[in-house]
């Protein structure tokens, strides 16, 4: 028997395809074939699970705006990490709860425009812009992928930079803005808030955009990516730059400031030297102290960046302790919001990672496993595998067993495990011909440490399960139930009370240079491939517009722009403020 039905009809009967949105689904024909008592569903043409294009849609219920907004992202924190962190705290005599616990209000489905499992770049980009994007995209419109798209994608908008929540708060509402992270500052999640590119790894294009956003605070890592040009810009804009100086950071009181404490990412919380590197909680508190001085309010994004990194490494103690450090920062933010009375806090991961579980295939009689059995060994670990690797790399092999016991309590390293350590790919190998066959010491240590626990992992990559959603709002106008990442952007837009919606702001600040300067003499100077310059001439006026900055030069005189200028080599276009034409 064969039946042809519309997707809408199938939804009404089986209610199984209405997965990604409460909004109207596309009606596409499907073939349902019944064979041997089984119903086989054959999709005859691709369908979009979210028929909305890149337009503003209000959140599904009324949201009263607040003066301040704090978004907190524990990158890659699967629900198994949250549960284990809670039990870890209980076992170690800490408070028997997490700071998120009273505020958990729902879940979020995060996805890319063409794939259910998201990368950090497209998922947080969706939180910030309202449009799901493809892997590696940073706040930029995705390419159409008709066979796989889960949302409606307009092919004519490919590579179009999209205005973010941070940019809207700064430009439309004149709020102070800031980012606090534990990764290097141009990494995916912070970049999603303040930069635009199709490739998250192109730091040469992303880092200057973030510097030229003139943010009020930027705390984290990434000194390696600060250039002489960026330092000159900081000086011109009276932005304090602090490099690896904890005391100078603690002495900050007001004004704009960048404080970075590592060449790349910060050390894991468990491995950091507290006399040199501040905790995520301390950086969050300092950011709130400074941002709250601004009369128009502020937007702040805080990321526990390396929860994700430890999940990629399958480092259980890293996942747990990184999340707890993040949760301590949540406690500081909630405390501030309650005292302030006009601040919303939204806490949510951008995706899951690694399939982290409390319980593993070799845990016999799992329902009888005591908390001591599950958390005794991991609670002895005072370094992550990465932190322990850094110590062992400078030691002679005869000291390995003693040092491992010192930092983990493990006193039974086997001969096989020892041989794997000394033959690690990044350590001096006894047989140089076998170096390429062996993993780095970090991975070997992870296996040694995890073997003494009962935490499980299904992968070393991102996973597609829903993530938790927690929020605080002074009038309790919190997002509830199951949300998509697109709906989270709707909520953030509404809680900020944006008058100029993100799609309209995108048109204003990221217009194509061919539209803005149609009819003018236009050239692109590509002598510096990392920073092309658009040159526009009209009679006696010459306008020079460097890529990835927020400054232009009219007859060699600097002009501050409202937003950064983005150049996309794929299209050969500059995307810039549409009112720049008035300068000519």
CATH of 68-357+459-506, one of 3.40.50.720, 3.40.720.10, 3.10.25.10, 2.40.40.20: 3.40.720.10
Specify whether the CB–CB gap between 277 and 268 falls below 8 A.
Answer: no
Specify whether the CB–CB gap between 78 and 311 falls below 8 A.
Answer: yes
Cα 104 to Cα 65, 108, 301, 471: the distances in Å are 20, 11, 19, 7
In residues, how long is the chain?
A: 584
- CA–CA separation, 519 and 101 (whole Å): 59
**pLDDT value at residue 270:** 98
Q: Average pLDDT, whole number, for the chain?
A: 91
CA-CA-CA-CA torsion sign (547, 549, 551, 556): negative
Task: Indicate whether 37 pLDDT > 50.
Answer: no
**pLDDT value at residue 10:** 32
For residue 256, give every residue at least 6 positions away whose Cβ sits within 8 Å of its Cβ, in sequence order, or none: 214, 215, 216, 217, 237, 238, 239, 240
Residue 278's Cβ-side half-sphere holds a number of Cα atoms within 13 Å equal to 27
**pLDDT value at residue 427:** 83
Q: Tell me: the pLDDT tens digits for 171-214? A: 999 999 999 999 999 999 999 999 999 999 999 999 999 999 99
- CA–CA separation, 535 and 17 (whole Å): 51
251: exposed, middle or buried (Cβ count in 10 Å: 0-12, 13-18, 19+): exposed
Tell the residue number behind the tokens 């009679």, with chain if given.
Answer: 539
- Is this model's pTM higher than 0.85 or not? yes
Task: Indicate whether 4 pLDDT > 90.
Answer: no
- CA–CA separation, 508 and 482 (whole Å): 33
The conformation of residue 235, written as its DSSP 8-state character, comes to: H
pLDDT mean over 74-95: 96
Q: Which of 5-14, 263-272, 295-304, 539-548 is the least confident region? A: 5-14
pLDDT band with cut points at 50, 70 and 90 for residue 541 = very high
Specify whether the CB–CB gap between 108 and 488 falls below 8 A.
Answer: yes
Q: Tell me: the pLDDT tens digits for 545-567? A: 999 999 999 999 999 999 999 99
**pLDDT value at residue 199:** 97
Task: Indicate whether 449 pLDDT > 50.
Answer: yes
pLDDT band with cut points at 50, 70 and 90 for residue 330 = very high
- Topology of domain 510-583 in CATH is Copper Amine Oxidase; Chain A, domain 1 (3.30.457)
- CA–CA separation, 406 and 408 (whole Å): 6
Q: Tell me: the pLDDT tens digits for 269-279? A: 999 999 999 99
């Amino acid at each position: 028997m064969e039946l042809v039905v519309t997707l809408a009809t199938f939804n009404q009967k089986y209610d199984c395809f209405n997965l990604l949105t409460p909004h109207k689904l596309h009606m596409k024909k499907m073939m349902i074939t019944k064979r041997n008592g089984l119903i086989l569903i054959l999709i005859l043409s691709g369908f979009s699970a979210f028929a909305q294009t890149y337009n503003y849609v209000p959140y599904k219920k009324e949201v009263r705006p607040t003066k301040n907004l704090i978004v907190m992202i524990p990158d890659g924190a699967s629900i198994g990490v949250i549960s284990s962190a809670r039990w870890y705290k209980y076992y170690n005599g800490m408070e028997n709860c997490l700071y998120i616990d009273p505020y958990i209000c729902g879940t979020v489905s995060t996805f890319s425009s063409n794939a259910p499992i998201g990368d950090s770049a497209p998922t947080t980009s969706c939180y910030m812009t309202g449009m799901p994007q493809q892997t590696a995209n940073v706040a930029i419109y995705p390419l159409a992928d008709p066979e796989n798209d889960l949302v409606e994608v307009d092919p004519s908008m490919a590579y179009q930079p999209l205005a973010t929540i941070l940019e809207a708060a700064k430009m439309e509402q004149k709020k102070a803005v800031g980012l606090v992270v534990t990764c290097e500052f141009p990494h995916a999640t912070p970049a999603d808030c303040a930069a635009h590119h199709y490739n998250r790894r192109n730091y040469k294009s992303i880092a200057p955009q973030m510097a030229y956003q003139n943010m009020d605070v930027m705390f984290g890592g990434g000194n390696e990516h600060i250039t002489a040009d960026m330092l000159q810009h900081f000086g011109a804009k009276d932005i304090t730059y602090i490099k690896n100086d904890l005391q100078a950071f603690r002495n900050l009181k007001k004004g704009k400031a960048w404080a970075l404490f590592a060449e790349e990412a910060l050390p894991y919380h468990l491995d950091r030297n507290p006399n040199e590197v501040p905790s995520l909680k301390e950086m969050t508190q300092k950011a709130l102290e400074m941002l709250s001085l601004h009369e128009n309010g502020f937007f702040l994004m805080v990321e526990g960046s390396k929860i994700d990194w430890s999940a990629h490494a399958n480092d259980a103690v890293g996942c747990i302790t990184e999340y707890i450090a993040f949760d301590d920062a949540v406690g500081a933010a909630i405390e501030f919001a309650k005292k302030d009375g006009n601040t919303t806090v939204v806490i949510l991961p951008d995706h899951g990672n690694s399939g982290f579980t409390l319980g593993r295939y070799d845990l016999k009689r799992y329902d009888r496993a005591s908390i001591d059995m599950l958390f005794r060994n991991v609670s002895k670990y005072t370094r992550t595998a990465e932190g322990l690797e850094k110590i062992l790399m400078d030691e002679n092999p005869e000291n390995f067993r003693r040092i491992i016991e010192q930092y983990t309590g493990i006193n039974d390293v086997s001969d096989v495990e020892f041989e794997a350590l000394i033959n690690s790919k990044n350590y001096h190998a006894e047989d140089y011909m076998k170096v390429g066959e062996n993993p780095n010491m970090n991975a070997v240590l992870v296996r040694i440490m995890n073997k003494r626990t009962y935490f499980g992992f299904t992968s070393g990559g991102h996973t597609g399960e829903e993530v938790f959603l927690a929020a605080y709002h002074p009038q309790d106008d919190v997002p509830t139930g199951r949300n998509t990442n697109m709906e989270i952007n709707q909520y953030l837009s509404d809680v900020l009370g944006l008058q100029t919606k993100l799609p309209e702001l995108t048109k204003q600040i990221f217009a194509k240079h061919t539209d803005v300067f149609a009819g003018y003499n236009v050239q692109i100077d590509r002598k510096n491939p990392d920073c092309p310059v658009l040159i526009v001439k009209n009679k006696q006026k010459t306008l020079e517009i460097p890529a990835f900055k927020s400054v232009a030069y009219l007859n060699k005189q600097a002009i501050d722009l409202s937003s950064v200028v983005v150049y996309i080599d794929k299209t050969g276009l500059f995307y810039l403020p549409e009112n720049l034409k008035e300068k000519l």
